């Protein structure tokens, strides 16, 4: 059965102990293979996804025994099996595995590749790794934006998926990002505390803004190095909101360099970036060694160009971001 036909009837799912506490949107992403994320969000908004016969929101969390009903989905979508992952791409993805044990795989994702297929993307990181490794079970534990590079956690066992997603919900896993932002950030260290509200543009694209009606969101920013036209910052989100670091940077007048969604109109006279200057550089997971991915070459090159315009010293270590 191809992906055009697979979901054209009413579909039922029952939640077991492995999905306890999982958000309904994340649950559906991993099960409605081939259905674009934008379509899944629309199904939820329109009430075509019901949990125990009730309408729900994307952030609704599941309980054991919940019965999920998904209305028929009709759309044109190419069969994903018709787009095989090339040997070159497969080897490239496998070479980016930074850490692996019996239950967890951590990959240093390049900028420009989505973490999963859909919304016009033939395949993403997870599909590529499944094809490249031949492993029957691989699931994303969390997501980062397509244009963001860096560390992505992938489970090889359901028990690891539940354990680490529980840790994420309880804010026990510390994530640190390297970001290059516009202008010189004045404070060496600051906690950005600004609630974030997610909304949609007329074309269905998701955006985020600071709003009193938004959800509590906090990001710790530590300056690593200042330049004439920018600043290298180490940012640790203390909550897990969409586009959090990007919007928090904009909120204090320092949007990320290379961001075409937030703050692209802010003046910037430094070297031209190749992409969004945001990299997931470190994971600190209880019970695991600290996992790190060095700054990618394109961001290293940009930092070198910025540094050449005006040398400055590192004012705080990457490790001092408590």
145 is catalytic: yes
Alpha carbon distances (Å) from 292 to 25, 30, 99, 240: 29, 27, 9, 19
Find where tokens 């066992």 sit. 157
Sign for the CA dihedral angle at 268, 244, 96, 318 comes to positive
**Residues 219, 235: Cα–Cα separation, whole Å:** 7
**Residues 113, 91: Cα–Cα separation, whole Å:** 15
3-state secondary structure of 248: helix
Of 66, 87, 145, 193, catalytic: 145
- Residue 280 in contact with residue 177, Cβ under 8 Å? yes
**Residues 103, 106: Cα–Cα separation, whole Å:** 10
Number of neighbours of residue 217 by Cβ within 10 angstroms: 23
Q: Which of 76, 111, 98 is nearest to 4 (CA)?
A: 76
Query: What residues are paired with 11 via a beta bridge?
Result: 70
48: CB partners within 8 A, 6+ apart? 70, 71
**Residues 174, 184: Cα–Cα separation, whole Å:** 26
**Residues 235, 191: Cα–Cα separation, whole Å:** 10
Alpha carbon distances (Å) from 176 to 20, 238, 316: 27, 10, 14
Main-chain phi, psi angles of 161, to 5 degrees: -55, -50
User: Looking at the annotation, which residues are catalytic?
Assistant: 145
């Amino acid at each position: 059965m191809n992906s055009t036909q697979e979901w054209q009837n009413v579909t039922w799912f029952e939640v077991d102990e492995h999905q306890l506490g999982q958000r309904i949107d994340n649950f559906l992403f991993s099960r409605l293979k081939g259905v674009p994320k934008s379509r899944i969000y629309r199904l939820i908004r329109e009430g075509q996804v019901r949990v125990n016969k009730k309408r729900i929101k994307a952030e609704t969390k599941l309980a054991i025994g919940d019965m999920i009903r998904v209305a028929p989905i009709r759309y044109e979508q190419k069969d994903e099996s018709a787009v095989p992952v090339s040997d070159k791409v497969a080897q490239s993805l496998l070479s980016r595995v930074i850490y692996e044990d019996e239950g967890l795989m951590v990959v240093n994702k390049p900028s420009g590749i989505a973490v999963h297929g859909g919304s016009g993307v033939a395949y993403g990181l997870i599909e590529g790794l499944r094809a490249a490794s031949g492993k029957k079970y691989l699931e994303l534990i969390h997501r980062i934006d397509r244009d963001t590079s860096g560390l992505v956690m992938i489970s090889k066992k359901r028990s690891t998926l539940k354990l680490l997603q529980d840790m994420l919900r309880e804010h026990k896993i510390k994530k640190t990002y390297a970001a290059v932002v516009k202008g010189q950030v004045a404070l060496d260290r600051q906690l950005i505390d600004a609630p974030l509200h997610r909304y949609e543009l007329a074309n269905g694209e998701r955006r985020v803004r600071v709003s009193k009606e938004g959800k509590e969101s906090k990001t710790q920013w530590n300056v690593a190095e200042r330049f004439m036209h920018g600043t290298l910052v180490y940012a640790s989100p203390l909550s897990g909101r969409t586009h959090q670091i990007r919007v928090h940077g904009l909120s204090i007048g320092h949007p990320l360099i290379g961001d075409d969604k937030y703050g692209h109109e802010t003046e910037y006279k430094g070297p031209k970036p190749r992409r969004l200057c945001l990299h997931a550089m470190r994971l600190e997971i209880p019970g695991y060694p600290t996992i790190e991915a060095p700054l990618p070459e394109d961001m290293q090159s940009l930092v070198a160009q910025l540094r050449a315009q005006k040398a400055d010293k590192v004012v705080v270590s990457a490790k001092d971001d408590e």
